[in-house]
A and B are shown apart, each in its own frame.
Chain A
Amino acid sequence: MAMLEVKNLSKKFGGVTALNDINFSLTEGEILGVIGPNGSGKTTLINCITGFIKATSGKVVFNGRNLCGLKPHKIVNLGVCRTFQIMRPYSSLPAYKNLIIPLYGPRARKTGGWRGGGRHGDRNIIALDLLEEVGFERESKVPYKLAGTLPTGYLKRLELARCLALNPELLICDEVFSGLSMSEIASMVPLIEKLNKSGVTIIMIEHRLKELFKVAKRVMAISYGDKIIEGTPAEVMANEKVKEAYLGA
């Protein structure tokens, strides 16, 4: 049964159509990649699913529940968590204190948060465990540094850790690989795979196609708000329209 179903989703900003009649569905436990050139509507799609902007028309059904019209925090509490493409850390707090906020929220309290540790126990310890899990060196000073002073690689991991703290059912990653070095990406890929194995369904928006195709078995391409094709990575890359969208006619 489909976990997430997006039906005829459209979003218009005044006269500009950012998303035009998008349809797709997602089964539990899979990784779906979403690709498309800049400005094609990938982030708008996420914003519509997670309630950060209101869709003009269409439906988003998650586990049998319509998400359209719900406030973002309600959607998160149903289990749909997202990262931001432009990282949004709490700059004035140390990195590990950044995770206290999701661990304090109602979802982490109800489900127990990451691995059920959020209900009881010290949130500081859980936060440090979680940072170690996403690749912060625990014994170093890095987890204690102000988030505003951390480099991009750590901030991307921090975004991911914020979602993990919420114990997501569906994780939506908005370009987690962008801005990272090859070695940093190489260490992120196993992390994503591990999450997926532990039962988290993932949607990945990505420009780094080579790395995306390592983890995503199914890929959807959009351009100017239209869905062009959906299929295996090989099928998508062979598609003429995809080539045209990326390289021009």
Chain B
Amino acid sequence: MKSGLRKERIDRGIKVRSDGIYALSSWREISFLMAPRMLLVCGLLLAPLILHFFPYWQKVLLIVCIYALLSMAFDFLANYVGLVCLGGSFFVGVGGYGAALLSKSLHCSPFISIPLAAVGGACFCTLALLPCLPLRGVYFAIVTLMYPLFMTRIIEAFELFGGTNGMMDVAGFANPWLEQYFLIIATLVFLFALRRLAVEDVGLVIKGIKDNDQSVKASGINITFIKAQAIFYASLLGCFAGAYLAHIYMWAGLSMFALDFSIIPIAATVVGGGGSLLGAVLGAILLVPLSEALRAFGPLRIVSYSLILTAVIVVKGEGLLNYLSRKYNQFERWKEI
């Protein structure tokens, strides 16, 4: 024990009254708040440069971002709106087919077809999910699980969009750097935009629906409209990811409606920790490379993957990010008495 000094938690001086209200008086305090965010932003921005000599892992980085977007969409719907959506692959498929259609019919660059497919796909998904919005909990989950299956069967049965072969020769990216940075920056923008939305007044209404939808009704707010808005934001992320995937693979097909796109984001959210969106991103950053690295195990890959997942959930059930942020906020410094 040093004399004349005592330990003080760094965050105590910064947080005022409640979470989200800060009083900052020095650059050190600002950097204490900003450091974790900056770590993520700089890490993601530098990753393509670091991975320059490992082209295979550059591709993995793209898939990480795709799953990060899907995990954010899942986390947003599950932990902010209270809708457990198992239809992640529905968003991916709609976005992917949309981008492929746009790119083949208009012959436009990916930078035009991706945003168009994202917005158009999000409108389509929102309209398609509109009838299920009064549902809650497990009922909503089951119904949304049906949507990708439904789309697959329809495309198969009517031989739409190339049927089981899918749509080939979708335009790819001319420049691999642009391909990576456009996706990374978009992921970061979506992440911080959604986090901002959640603390705005409309975000509070969305959270209110999760806490108590009757009370929101009694406040004179049409909850179906708010839920539809939330679905739109989530499917915007999902369709963007799907559209991007179509241009990375230069192909859109039935496997875009595969269950992976619905389930892995859930695993990522659980491992990373739900309720902050950052946790979902962290989960995707950990899980996707892990699943790639485990390819060395051959047939035992899924077994080892499941074991690791189970271990994380049992040992740190709250999610890694929630654990880390708690520890981070408990950092102490010496202070003169």
Contacts and interface: CB of A to CB of B under 8 A. Distances in A.
Given A92-B211, A97-B204, A102 B18 contact: no
Contacts of A82: 218
Interface in B176-229: 201-202, 204-205, 207-208, 210-212, 214-223
A54 B201 CA distance: 31
A81 to B, nearest CB: 7
B18 A144 contact: yes
A75 to B, nearest CB: 8
Contacts of B205: 100-101, 104
Interface string A67-102: 000011100110001101000111111100110111
Interface of B: 17-18, 21, 201-202, 204-205, 207-208, 210-212, 214-223
Given A50-B218, A52-B217, A93 B223 contact: no
Contacts of B202: 104
B133 to A, nearest CB: 14
A88 B212 contact: yes
Nearest to B213: A88
B214 A52 contact: yes
Contact of B221 (A50, A52, A101): A101
B221 A105 contact: yes
Contacts of A97: 204
A73 B220 contact: yes
A240 to B, nearest CB: 37
A145 interface: yes
A141 interface: yes
Interface SS of chain B: helix, strand, loop or mixed? helix
Given A100-B204, A123-B201, A107 B220 contact: yes
Given A93-B207, A145-B18, A76 B212 contact: no
Contacts of B207: 90, 92-93
A71 B218 contact: no
A73 B223 contact: yes
Interface in A139-172: 141, 144-145, 162, 165-166
Contact of A144 (B17, B201, B215, B218): B17
A106 interface: yes
Given A105-B221, A107-B220, 12 more contacts: A73-B220, A81-B218, A90-B204, A90-B215, A93-B207, A93-B211, A101-B216, A102-B219, A103-B201, A104-B201, A106-B220, A141-B17
A169 B292 CA distance: 62
Contacts of B217: 52, 72-73, 76
Interface in A98-150: 98, 100-108, 123, 141, 144-145
Given A144-B17, A145-B18, A90 B212 contact: yes
A106 B221 contact: yes
A74 to B, nearest CB: 8
Given A94-B18, A123-B201, A145-B18, A105 B208 contact: no
13 contacts: A73-B220, A81-B220, A84-B214, A88-B212, A88-B214, A92-B210, A94-B18, A98-B208, A100-B204, A101-B205, A108-B220, A144-B21, A162-B218
B222 A71 contact: yes
A200 to B, nearest CB: 16
